Amino acid sequence: MLRQAQHDIGITIVTLSLSKGLQEKQMEPQKNNPLHGLTLEFVLKHLIAYYGWEQLALRININCFKSNPSLKSSLTFLRKTPWARTKVENLYLETIGFEYEFKEDAKS
């Protein structure tokens, strides 16, 4: 629904309100994304608690897990490196027993 409001200073403000059906559709969970609603920090903390840094480094061969690992440095690296984030997300899903695999980006 489109609404217009004329103000004293001569400015017309146009607002658009979404129909109820569209609002409900936007609120539906992402059925095809098992990680929807989980932060990267949550996923990484779960893996650290489950495996520890040493085992995590053996499973995913990246330096931020091997050399002086910390949550902050690992999150920074994973947020900037899509292929590594994909490996972490896939390991998390495997760890919780969910049979789903995110495909690595074709450009990687």
Domain that holds residue 45: 40-95
Instruction: Indicate whether 30 belongs to any domain.
Output: no
Q: In the chain, how many domains are there?
A: 1
Instruction: Indicate whether 19 belongs to any domain.
Output: no
Instruction: Indicate whether 11 belongs to any domain.
Output: no
Distance CA 75, CA 61 (A): 15
* Cβ 39 vs Cβ 25: under 8 Å: no
CATH of the domain at 53: 1.10.720.30
- pLDDT at residue 34 in the model: 83
Q: pTM value?
A: 0.64
- pLDDT at residue 104 in the model: 54
Distance CA 94, CA 35 (A): 12
- pLDDT at residue 32 in the model: 77
- Walking along the chain (108 residues) 10 residues at a time, the average pLDDT comes out as 52 49 54 85 95 96 94 96 95 81 50
Instruction: Indicate whether 47 belongs to any domain.
Output: yes
